[in-house]
Structure 1
Amino acid sequence: MRERYDFHTMIYIELFRLLLGLLIAYFHKPIADFMMERERATVILFRQRGFPLPQAPTTEQARTLYFLIGIAVASIELIRMYLLQRGIVF
């Protein structure tokens, strides 16, 4: 009975991570826009204080990056769920 409880608990965790990855991929544009706004403000702040920082990535690069992060998280979780179901990962 204990093994079944652990399996179900792990599946719920993996499903949550899968959902998180899909949500990141789905909302990649607003996430990237928000993060780029903060990053640009931070770069300006550091440059005003004399710290040379490289240019922030473009908005399109940030959007692509967050989309790929979301897809990567979802893909890894699908693989982990498959391996968990087969008894390879516990």
Structure 2
Amino acid sequence: MPPVEKPKKKAKDKRPTRDEAILEEIGERLVEAKNEESEVVLTVWGLDEPVQGVIVALDTRTRLVHVEKQGDLTKVPFMDIMKVDNPD
């Protein structure tokens, strides 16, 4: 009987790299949206659906952005945020 082959592990997809200027712009837009308590739509790396809601906290210690929508809290890693938009 031939040996059973183990499926090859796929290399984990790497997050696209962005330069400092883009990261700084994302950070500024997040701070502005939090201060204005305005709703945002975040395009998040690795998620099929965007995250939409109001930013209630920017945790510098854990580097998580806390987004609330209708009482549901979603914590998004800052480095996974690809784009910050206003809702249509």
Same fold, TM-score > 0.5, yes or no: no
| TM-score, scaled relative to structure 1 | 0.30
Identify which of structures 1 and 2 has the higher relative contact order when contacts are C-alpha pairs closer than 8 Å and 6+ apart: 1
Structure with higher Rg: it is 1
| TM-score, scaled relative to structure 2 | 0.30
